[in-house]
Amino acid sequence: MSIFSAIMGMFRSSEEEAQQTWMEDEQQRQMFETMRQSDEVAQWTTEEAQRVTDEAMWESEESMRMMTDDMNRAMDDAHWEADDMMSSSDDSDWSSDSSWDSGDSWDSSDSWGSDDSWSSSDDSSWGGGSDFF
């Protein structure tokens, strides 16, 4: 019986060791699986964050491009309107000005007469004739 007990003891010891080793291996496998899943989640999170960042940058760039295009269009429109206003005012200055007619031309009778010109008799307005200089 003692040989049988010794063999049974070795068998139990060997079985306990195998079970202990299996449990340790299982714990290690679970730990590695958890780490792998954590790495996958971290990688997915990083990729998702990069995707969201890229999308936000693209939307921002697109928004800036649209605003710039709108501003350029508005400036072009204002430029064309100013050109139109200038060209229409240039056209109307002389050709279509109804206030000017041939009766308004300069006449020799409109020139300065002798009564309108400055003369030496006007020295009194300057404070006393030749004493001024």
Q: What is the pLDDT along the chain (133 residues), one digit of tens a residue?
A: 677 777 777 777 788 888 899 999 999 999 999 999 999 999 999 999 999 999 999 999 999 999 999 999 999 999 999 888 888 765 555 555 555 555 555 555 555 555 555 555 555 555 555 555 5
- Provide the residue type at 2 as one letter: S
List CB contacts of 132: < 8 A, sequence separation 6 or more: 123, 126
- What residue has token string 């020139």? 111
pLDDT at 7: 73
So where are the chain's domains? 44-82
Residues 76 and 65: their CA atoms lie apart, in Å, by 16
pLDDT at 99: 55
- Provide the residue type at 105 as one letter: S
pLDDT at 11: 72
pLDDT at 55: 95
- Alpha-helical regions (H) of the chain: 2-94
pTM across the whole model: 0.36
pLDDT at 30: 96
pLDDT at 3: 79
- What is residue 97's DSSP assignment? -
